[in-house]
Chains A and B, each alone.
Chain A
Amino acid sequence: MKFKKTLVAMTILLAGSAMADVNVGVSIALTGPGSGLGIPMQNQFKLFPKTIAGEKINLIILDDATDPGKGVTNARRFLTEDKVDIIIGSCITATSAAMAPVIAEGKTVQLSAAPVGVPPGQDHWLFRLPQGFGVMAHPIIEHMVKSGVKTVGFLGYTDAYGELWLKELEARAAKAGIKVVAVERFARTDTSATPQALKLVSANPDAMLVVASGSGAAMPHKALIERGYKGKVYQTHAAATPDLVRIGGKDVEGAYVVSGPAVVAEQLPDSHPSKKASIDFVTKYEALMGAGQRNQFAGHAYDAAIVLEKVLPGALKKAKPGTPEFRAALRDGIETMGRTIFSHGVMNWTKDDHWGYTDETGVLMKVVGGKFVVEK
């Protein structure tokens, strides 16, 4: 009889404490074309803290199969069945964008690992973990000013990636007194950028910005060099992969490439605020996954834990987990948490800015001897 009573008491106790746990819903792409982004995040979540501020953290990880519809279903499940306090995901822009209105309706914070372009004002519950384009353009423009660049040519994708970069470049270059003298476009599937390179080289700007991703960034770069361009060539953060050097070979030697700090941790100058966090992330992740496995998206998952560690204690003082008040307190906490060091840079979310990274974030690297070397 006594045993039974103890059992009942324990169950009640357990149920009671389970109620108080903080539930975190994670919806990322573990299958489908976006799985290359979601799987590193899932790996990093294995290292997610088990308790924060004395509260047990329950991670509920669901696969959205790179499908916006599935993402919305996951979001609904999080809100209605799992009664989560915060949602992380997705790593795919289209999926994140589809989930946003549903999550906002459920009055829950969404930490998106993809750069979602919801206009300011409509992103009340939405905070982004990746860097925006302006933050990445900052070190490029800064370097151009420092090295006396007065004119710049633009050779970029015809898609949204190229468009957003062009907008940032034009705005920031104008402020810095640099003239954009030629704008040429190409498509990812093009087999030749010779005509564009001809036109750009004949405009003879002091520097060129090539906006393309991965190994695709090598072809336009080579076209410029083959047409005899001798000035500085800059590349964006999507090109900051070993593929650029693998395909580009000696033609990309001396190119400047901007990157987030997380993936070049060891090389960061000691003055870079993210150095400690980046090294911590890279060491732990590569201890789990093997050397050389560091990855932009695993870094976002790492940063999500930093956010929770910073805002949970404050929110716990205001309300109990699982209540709408708690979720609202989390949101307010994130918005007012102030300057916070991420592995990916320095974050400062404010009421009007849910992108939040400061200009201290981006790192400019130079290709030297087939390796990326941080440019100081």
Chain B
Amino acid sequence: MDFSIASILALDGLTNGAIYALLALATVLVFAVTRVIFIPQGEFVAFGALTLALLQAGKVPGTVWFLLVLAGAVAVSDVWNGVRLQHGAGRIARTVLRTLAYPVAISLVAFWAAPRGLPLVAQALLTLALVTPFGTLIYRLAYESLADATVLVLLIVSVGVHFALVGLGLYFFGAEGFRNPSFWDARFSIGPVTLSGQTVIIFFASIALIIALWLFFERSLYGKALRATAVNRLGARLMGISTIGAGRLSFTMAAFIGALSGLLIGPTTTVFYDTGFLIGLKGFVAAVFAGLSSYPLALVGALGVGLLESFGSFWASAFKEVIVFSAILPVLLWRSLRDPHSEEH
């Protein structure tokens, strides 16, 4: 191995690492606020990339129908809750309307836009707008009524949601994969390394998102409310912060980050309906590195996972996955030595 090979490997590792970083941030965010270990995080990646691929092909993606069905199911649960709590008809109608308005509107836009072959950027924005509401809807349907359950119960629900989403992905997108066109076709040569425009976009989008998250948590009232919920749910609730609203917001952000990652990764690799899981799992490894609580550490962990994967597949490609996932063991050891485990609920 000489310098040129090492630099190509490093670039490849960092590019993948940047995607893992986004997913790790989303995992940390969701866990910190709701204590849900969100295994299906990676599914948003596949949903994002494949929804764009189908829009590119001029078809209405199955995700649109899924969005409508999910919104319908949540609306039914709204009605049920309203009747159970003896709300008035007007109030129930308003809740249902609030649940349905956005998904129906964006679905109509999708039906209108799909056959028209809009420019790539417009389709990418439409994809983000389509996949992001899945966060709230899935949270409301699967997790909200269990908000006070133990981490284990929430994890079990996550496994179920994961399998459901993978199965639906197969149904919507088929078994064969898609590769999206690149957002920026430029190529730059820096010594032995060729930097493609898409790589540059991945880096900039990741950095921008990380800075945006940092600003959100440090400067905005919503961000501070989320942080307060993360520190102490009961305390936050006593201070008038809606923990339910915090949960919905964090899931929406997670879905947005997942869909964005899908858009970023789509042009660099073939994405299948089940590709998301392994990408999400690597983001999860990075999040564990951060103890599921620290954003900067999650970023460092993700870049580490990317580099480990890239150099691992160069030296011993057959054992690459083993190397990456075994790396979690020393990290767990280090974490348990650093902050001894204490039961907290």
Beyond A158-B318, A194-B8, A198-B314, whether A215 also contacts B277 by CB under 8 A is no
Q: How far is the CA of A202 from the CA of B192 in the complex (A)?
A: 14
Partner of B314, one of A189, A191, A196, A214: A196
- The closest CB in chain B to the CB of A184 belongs to B317
Q: How far is the CA of A188 from the CA of B279 in the complex (A)?
A: 12
Cβ-defined contact, A196 with B178, below 8 A: no
| Given A195-B314, A196-B314, A215-B176, 15 further pairs, Cβ under 8 A | A33-B170, A189-B274, A189-B279, A190-B313, A191-B265, A191-B279, A192-B15, A192-B310, A194-B310, A195-B311, A198-B5, A199-B314, A215-B270, A218-B270, A247-B179
Q: Which of B177, B317, B320 has the most CB of A within 10 A?
A: B317
Residue A143 at the B interface, CB < 8 A?
no
Q: How far is the CA of A199 from the CA of B311 in the complex (A)?
A: 11
Residue B78 at the A interface, CB < 8 A?
no
- The closest CB in chain B to the CB of A217 belongs to B270
Chain B residues positioned under 8 Å from A232 (CB to CB): none
Chain B residues positioned under 8 Å from A186 (CB to CB): 313, 317, 320
Partner of A198, one of B8, B279, B312, B318: B8
Chain A residues positioned under 8 Å from B310 (CB to CB): 192, 194-195
Per DSSP, chain B at the interface is: helix
Q: Mark B250-266, 1 if CB is under 8 A from A, else 0.
A: 00000000000000010
Cβ-defined contact, A191 with B268, below 8 A: yes
Residue A187 at the B interface, CB < 8 A?
yes
Chain B residues positioned under 8 Å from A241 (CB to CB): 176
Chain A residues positioned under 8 Å from B132 (CB to CB): none
Cβ-defined contact, A189 with B278, below 8 A: yes
Q: How far is the CA of A35 from the CA of B166 in the complex (A)?
A: 17
Give the 5 A-B CB pairs with smallest separation, nearest first: A195-B314, A195-B313, A191-B269, A189-B278, A185-B318
Chain A residues positioned under 8 Å from B321 (CB to CB): 158, 187
Partner of A36, one of B175, B179, B265: B175
Cβ-defined contact, A192 with B268, below 8 A: yes
Chain A residues positioned under 8 Å from B270 (CB to CB): 215-216, 218-219, 247
Q: How far is the CA of A243 from the CA of B270 in the complex (A)?
A: 11
Q: Mark A364-375, 1 if CB is under 8 A from B, else 0.
A: 000000000000
Cβ-defined contact, B317 with A196, below 8 A: yes
Residue B9 at the A interface, CB < 8 A?
yes
Q: How far is the CA of A247 from the CA of B179 in the complex (A)?
A: 6
Chain B residues positioned under 8 Å from A196 (CB to CB): 313-314, 317
Q: How far is the CA of A36 from the CA of B146 in the complex (A)?
A: 38
Count residues on chain B whose CB falls below 8 Å from chain A CBs: 32
Q: How far is the CA of A241 from the CA of B174 in the complex (A)?
A: 15
Query: Which B225-278 residues have a C-beta within 8 angstroms of A?
Result: 265, 268-270, 272, 274-275, 277-278
Pair count A-B, CB < 8 A: 86
Partner of A218, one of B8, B179, B268: B179
Chain B residues positioned under 8 Å from A199 (CB to CB): 314, 317
Which B residues are closer than 8 A to A by beta carbons? Answer: 5, 8-9, 12, 15-16, 19, 170, 175-179, 265, 268-270, 272, 274-275, 277-279, 310-314, 317-318, 320-321
Q: How far is the CA of A195 from the CA of B12 in the complex (A)?
A: 8
- The closest CB in chain B to the CB of A200 belongs to B317
Q: How far is the CA of A194 from the CA of B269 in the complex (A)?
A: 11
Query: Which A161-190 residues have a C-beta within 8 angstroms of B?
Result: 184-190
- The closest CB in chain B to the CB of A191 belongs to B269
Q: How far is the CA of A313 from the CA of B100 in the complex (A)?
A: 67
Cβ-defined contact, B317 with A185, below 8 A: yes
Query: Which A24-46 residues have a C-beta within 8 angstroms of B?
Result: 33, 36
Q: How far is the CA of A196 from the CA of B313 in the complex (A)?
A: 6
- The closest CB in chain A to the CB of B316 belongs to A185
Q: How far is the CA of A22 from the CA of B289 in the complex (A)?
A: 65
Chain A residues positioned under 8 Å from B277 (CB to CB): 189
Chain B residues positioned under 8 Å from A33 (CB to CB): 170
- The closest CB in chain A to the CB of B11 belongs to A194
Q: How far is the CA of A190 from the CA of B178 in the complex (A)?
A: 14
In the complex, what's the smallest C-beta–C-beta distance from B71 to chain A, in angstroms? 28
Partner of A192, one of B16, B177, B178, B311: B16
7 A-B pairs whose Cβ atoms sit less than 8 Å apart in the complex:
A186-B317, A187-B278, A187-B320, A189-B277, A191-B265, A219-B179, A247-B270
Chain B residues positioned under 8 Å from A191 (CB to CB): 16, 19, 265, 268-269, 275, 279
Beyond A198-B5, A202-B5, A214-B176, whether A192 also contacts B317 by CB under 8 A is no
Chain A residues positioned under 8 Å from B311 (CB to CB): 195
In the complex, what's the smallest C-beta–C-beta distance from A252 to chain B, in angstroms? 12
Q: How far is the CA of A195 from the CA of B311 in the complex (A)?
A: 7
Beyond A158-B318, A189-B277, A192-B16, whether A216 also contacts B178 by CB under 8 A is no
In the complex, what's the smallest C-beta–C-beta distance from B172 to chain A, in angstroms? 15
Cβ-defined contact, B175 with A247, below 8 A: no
Q: How far is the CA of A33 from the CA of B320 in the complex (A)?
A: 28
Beyond A191-B269, A192-B310, A218-B270, whether A247 also contacts B178 by CB under 8 A is yes
Partner of B317, one of A188, A195, A243: A195
Q: Which of B5, B9, B274, B314 has the most CB of A within 10 A?
A: B314
Cβ-defined contact, B12 with A192, below 8 A: yes
Cβ-defined contact, B177 with A247, below 8 A: yes
Cβ-defined contact, B12 with A194, below 8 A: yes
Chain A residues positioned under 8 Å from B312 (CB to CB): 195
- The closest CB in chain A to the CB of B310 belongs to A195
Chain B residues positioned under 8 Å from A202 (CB to CB): 5
- The closest CB in chain B to the CB of A212 belongs to B270
- The closest CB in chain B to the CB of A241 belongs to B176
Q: Mark A222-253, 1 if CB is under 8 A from B, else 0.
A: 00000000000000000001010001000000
Chain B residues positioned under 8 Å from A192 (CB to CB): 12, 15-16, 268-269, 310, 313
Partner of B272, one of A194, A198, A216: A216
